[in-house]
Amino acid sequence: MPTTFAPAKQFVGIANETTQGTPVAMTSTVLVNEVKPKDNPTWLDDKSWRGSMATDAFAKIPGVAHAELDLGGPAYGDGLGYFLRNILGDMSCTGTSTGTGGTTLTAAAAAGATSITTQATIPASTPVQIGTGAKTEVFVTGTPTGSGPYTIPLSSPSGGLLYPHASAEAVQPVTGPYTQAHSLLNSGGGQPMSHTITHFLGPTTVSGARQYPGACFSELGLKWNAESELLTWSGKATTWPSVALGAAPVAAPSTVLPVASWRMKIGIGGPATGATLINTVTDGELTIKRELTPYYTVSGVQTPYIIQRGGLSVDGKLTFVAADESPLLYMLNNSQPQLQIVLDNGLTGSNKITFQIDCQIAAFTDMEPDGSKAAVEYGGSFTAVLNTVNAGGSGGYSPIKVSVTNNVPAGTY
């Protein structure tokens, strides 16, 4: 029988990288229904004259190389966080308080610290939330030492604290669900985490899979339609050239389900509740775009020296049933209202999934009436404006904050 491979068996995995471009084994299966990988080697032509009636190349010599990935599908509450952190970079994490065991720091803790000192002891293997607000983070503790103050190792995630914390800040044992808030990273070099994407397709010898290391996303889009769609996402990434995986990966999909768009609530001029809740939006989309440039150096290798992230922008579109002229006036009056989008799966506890998008300043730049349908509609575009309210723990400005609530343990993203 001829050898063939069924596309229905393909799957995609992801893992956080420590060094950009160094591939690592997948740690999670991300559920997508579209993936289009493409290796992009360049070719250098030798067109020196050789006394022959020819104008084409006499030789093609390999130049530098990178790869590109398009992927997407329904938005899953436990998977989208990888891609949000990749394109935005700044992430805080909060948990659900257990109600007991809370204490405070007895000394300031610097970014990168792998332990903290506390007033009261904390048992090993306890998830704890350190701090409040934009610099909140969650760690699992190691075995405590001392007789007061106590030294508490931060065993997971590795790498230590993301942010500095002052003495007397709260340290509270927590459990799921957790909320990860993603904003634009402005500290250090401003370069978010990169990821290795693993694609099992079948033809690759031994493993059936190729890895795309160093993945950096240049675009992440969200779309919704109350009548006919789940919340969906799509993304575009630039990566190092693909490499064959040595051993077959194993798919381990989660049981978390995507969420129907009709559950969404939108607030304009305030939160998606009360007087600023807007009930007339039928569909929309939001796109986060990031400048990317692969840099190559004379270092004896074809792969990038770095895939450098540049500036970030956010824009979107909304369609309204025309209850009045409010959508048009957002543009004509240049009111630039707050925009909040919340999508909740309606469950509680560890099963709860919530997506919340906050654009503190949304400038509506285009809005057109549509009288061709059963009801008059308005459809138009907005741009998210940089502001400090949506900024994360790294400070500065951000045009957006995207918060996802799920039961994913600290250190996953």
Provide the residue ranges of all domains of the chain, joining segments of one domain with +.
Answer: 7-40+63-88+185-406, 93-180
**pTM of the full predicted structure?**
0.96
Distance CA 318, CA 189 (A): 34
Residue 411 has pLDDT above 90, yes or no: no
Q: How confident is the model at residue 105 (pLDDT cuts 50, 70, 90)?
A: very high
Percent of the chain with pLDDT over 90: 98
Distance CA 294, CA 301 (A): 13
The predicted-structure confidence for 119-131, as pLDDT tens digits, reads as follows 999 999 999 999 9
Maximum CA pair distance of the chain? 88
Q: How confident is the model at residue 55 (pLDDT cuts 50, 70, 90)?
A: confident
CA-nearest of 283, 204, 229, 207 to 72 is 229
The predicted-structure confidence for 257-287, as pLDDT tens digits, reads as follows 999 999 999 999 999 999 999 999 999 999 9
CB 412 within 8 A of CB 81: yes
Distance CA 406, CA 413 (A): 12
CB 343 within 8 A of CB 263: yes
Distance CA 199, CA 208 (A): 9
pLDDT the model gives residue 254: 93
